[in-house]
Amino acid sequence: MLRITSRISLDEDEIEERFIRASGPGGQNVNKVASAVQLRFSIVDSPSLPEAVRERLRRIAGTRVDKRGVLTIEAKRYRDQSRNREDALERLAALIRKAAEPPPPRRPTKPTAASRRRRLDDKRKRGETKKSRRPDIAE
């Protein structure tokens, strides 16, 4: 059980891990050992996430989510598998924590009197400029 917040916990069966070879430093070892982690988590099929969190998570994750709603996180920062695994799980938890925070409510505002006056003055000036470009038609 992976604890995300006081209300959200993920079952380990919901997370799929694959170990892959990582690029970068490590000498000959890098070609032999699969130390990078590719973590996959199905946002759509997860029973642990409330609907609102699910929608926000899809939006926050962006291109890391495929068309089927599967979030993919690759962790290859460290040379050893266990640290990369922890890093991937922590990044998943951070994303879900961020999605669990509801957005602040929007408070509608009104334009100030000065901004309304400026807008109308600009419209009037623009109209006068266009009017001055018209040819004089004698009646």
User: Is 0.75 topped by the overall pTM?
Assistant: no
pLDDT the model gives residue 138? 67
CA atoms within 13 A on the CB side of 68: 7
The verdict on residue 132 lying in a domain is no
pLDDT, one tens digit per residue, over 30-58 is 666 777 888 888 888 888 888 888 888 88
What is the structure's pLDDT at 28? 65
* The pLDDT of residue 115 is above 70: yes
Q: Is 74 part of any domain? A: yes
Q: Which CATH number characterizes residue 55's domain?
A: 3.30.160.20
Q: With a cut of 90, say whether residue 8 has pLDDT above it.
A: no
The more confident residue out of 53 and 122 is: 122
Distance (Å, rounded) from C-alpha 23 to C-alpha 19?
13
Residue 11 has pLDDT above 80, yes or no: no
**Domain assignment of residue 90, given as a range:** 2-100
Q: Is residue 82 part of a domain?
A: yes
SS3 (DSSP) at 11: coil
Asked if 77 contacts 87 with a C-beta cutoff of 8 angstroms, the reply is yes
**Cα-based torsion angle of the residue sequence 5, 103, 55, 50 in order, rounded to the nearest 10 degrees:** 40
pLDDT tens string 56-94: 888 888 888 888 888 888 888 887 888 888 888 898 888
Give 7's Cβ-side CA count (13 Å radius): 8
Tell me the average pLDDT of the chain: 84
Residue 128: inside a domain: no
